[in-house]
C-alpha cells in the first residue's frame, strides 16, 4: 500500500510544529502520556520528530469497494458473524460494523473477536474512513456479552488469554483515530456494554437494556467496564450499577449520561442505528484531520492534569496548521461556500 507523504507547506510552519512538540518533550508528564502513542505509531522519539502523531492523519487506500459488505473470517460456517460495510454516495466515509450472531444474541466468541480485530485493523490506518458505527443486525439485541456456552467449554487456563484478547479488541476499538458511535437497539450486557463504552458516543433506543451484570456471575467486568463506566457517568454511580449488577433502559441511561441520545424504537427495530447514522452525517463534512486531532487531544488530555492537557492540545493544534484542509476552510469561509475537505 502506498502512503502519501505528509508535506509541510513552509519552513515557518515546520518550525512551529517542532517548537510545539519540543514543549511536549520537555515535560516528563506529557512524554509519558505520549509514549504508548509513539510506540504504537512506530516513531522512535517524540523529541526528534514532530511526526509522532502523523499515523492518525496519513492517507491510505480503500480496504474494499464503496458500499459493499466485507466479511472477515476464514471459517465459512461463521462468515456472517460480522458484516463490514463501507457506505458510498453522500455517506462516503462512514463504515458500519454489524454484529450478526442471531442464535447467540451476538455474544462475544473467539471467532467474533478475531473478525472484529481484523476489521478494526483494516480501518485504523485508512484515511478515507471518517466515522465508524457499531450496530447489531439482530433485532432486539446489541450484544449479550461473553459467549457463556463457549466459555463453559474452555479449560480454566484458556479463560484468561481469551479475556485478554477481548479486552485488547475493545481497547483497539477505543483507540481508533476516527470517531466511533455505538448504536444500541437492544440489550447491551456485560462485554456488550463494555464494547459500547469504548466508543466515543452511544445512541440507544429507549427500550434497550444496558448493564454490567458480571457480579451476578461472581466475576467482575473484564474488558474495561470498571474503568470506562466511572469515567463516563462518575465513580459513585458506576459503583452502584456494577455492585448491584443493575440493568437500565435507554431513557435512564441517557439521564445517567451513559448514552448521548435515547430515541423511541421504530417498527423496524433500528431507531438507534438511524440516529447514529444522522450523527455520523453531521461529523463527516468537518475537517477529518481536525476531527482526529481533536479526538486525540481529548482522549489523552482527560487522563492528565490541565497544564499537561493544554500542552497536548497545543501539539495537536500544530498538526493542523500546515494542512491543505485548513487553507480550504479559510477559502470556503471567504467565498461563502461549503468547504471540500480531502484529509490532506
For residue 239, what pLDDT band results from cuts at 50, 70 and 90? very high
Complete domains list, the chain, with CATH: 11-56+288-335 (no CATH), 69-283 (3.90.226.10)
The residues that are catalytic are 146, 191, 194, 214
For residue 281, what pLDDT band results from cuts at 50, 70 and 90? very high
pLDDT at 92: 92
The predicted model scores a pTM of 0.76
Q: How many residues does the chain have?
A: 344
Q: Do residues 81 and 114 lie in contact, with contact meaning Cβ atoms separated by under 8 Å?
A: no
From the number of C-beta atoms within 10 Å of its C-beta (0-12, 13-18, 19+), residue 172 rates as: middle
pLDDT in tens, 64-83: 333 444 333 333 334 578 99
pLDDT in tens, 151-203: 777 777 777 787 788 889 999 999 999 999 999 999 999 999 999 999 999 99
pLDDT at 262: 96
**Interval 235-249 mean pLDDT:** 96
Q: Look up residue 269 and give its DSSP letter.
A: S
| Percent of the chain scoring above 70 in pLDDT | 77
Average pLDDT, the chain: 80
pLDDT in tens, 101-146: 998 899 888 889 889 999 999 999 999 999 999 999 999 999 988 8
pLDDT in tens, 210-224: 999 999 989 999 889
C-alpha cell, 112: 467474533
Residue partners of 34: CB distance under 8 A and separation at least 6? 24, 46, 52, 300, 312
Amino acid at each position: 500500500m502506498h502512503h502519501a507523504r505528509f508535506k509541510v507547506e513552509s519552513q515557518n510552519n515546520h518550525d512551529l510544529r517542532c517548537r510545539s512538540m519540543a514543549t511536549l518533550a520537555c515535560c516528563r508528564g506529557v512524554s509519558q502520556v505520549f509514549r504508548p502513542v509513539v510506540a504504537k505509531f512506530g516513531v522512535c522519539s517524540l523529541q526528534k520528530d514532530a511526526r509522532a502523531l502523523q499515523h492518525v492523519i496519513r492517507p491510505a487506500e480503500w480496504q474494499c469497494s464503496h458500499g459493499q459488505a466485507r466479511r472477515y473470517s476464514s471459517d465459512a460456517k461463521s462468515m456472517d458473524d460480522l458484516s463490514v460495510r463501507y457506505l458510498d454516495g453522500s455517506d462516503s466515509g462512514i463504515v458500519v460494523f454489524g454484529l450478526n450472531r442471531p442464535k447467540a444474541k451476538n455474544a462475544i466468541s473467539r471467532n467474533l473477536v478475531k473478525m472484529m480485530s481484523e476489521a478494526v485493523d483494516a480501518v485504523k490506518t485508512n484515511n478515507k474512513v471518517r466515522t465508524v458505527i457499531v450496530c447489531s443486525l439482530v433485532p432486539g439485541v446489541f450484544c449479550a456479552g461473553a459467549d457463556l456456552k463457549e466459555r463453559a467449554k474452555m479449560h480454566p487456563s484458556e479463560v484468561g488469554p481469551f479475556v485478554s484478547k477481548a479486552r485488547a479488541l475493545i481497547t483497539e476499538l477505543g483507540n481508533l483515530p476516527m470517531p466511533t458511535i455505538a448504536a444500541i437497539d437492544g440489550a447491551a450486557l456485560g462485554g456488550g456494554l463494555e464494547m459500547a463504552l469504548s466508543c466515543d458516543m452511544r445512541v440507544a433506543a429507549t427500550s434497550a437494556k444496558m448493564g454490567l451484570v458480571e457480579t451476578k456471575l461472581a466475576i467482575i467486568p473484564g474488558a474495561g467496564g470498571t474503568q470506562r463506566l466511572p469515567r463516563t457517568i462518575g465513580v459513585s454511580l458506576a459503583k452502584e450499577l456494577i455492585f448491584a449488577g443493575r440493568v437500565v433502559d435507554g431513557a435512564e441511561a441517557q439521564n445517567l449520561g451513559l448514552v448521548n441520545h435515547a430515541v423511541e424504537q421504530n417498527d423496524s427495530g433500528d431507531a438507534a442505528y438511524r440516529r447514529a447514522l444522522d450523527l455520523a452525517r453531521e461529523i463527516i463534512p468537518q475537517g477529518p484531520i481536525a476531527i482526529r486531532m481533536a479526538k486525540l487531544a481529548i482522549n489523552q488530555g482527560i487522563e492528565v492534569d490541565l497544564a499537561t492537557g493544554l500542552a497536548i492540545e497545543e501539539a495537536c493544534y500544530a498538526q493542523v496548521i500546515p494542512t491543505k484542509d485548513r487553507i480550504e476552510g479559510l477559502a470556503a469561509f471567504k467565498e461563502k461556500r461549503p468547504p471540500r475537505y480531502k484529509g490532506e
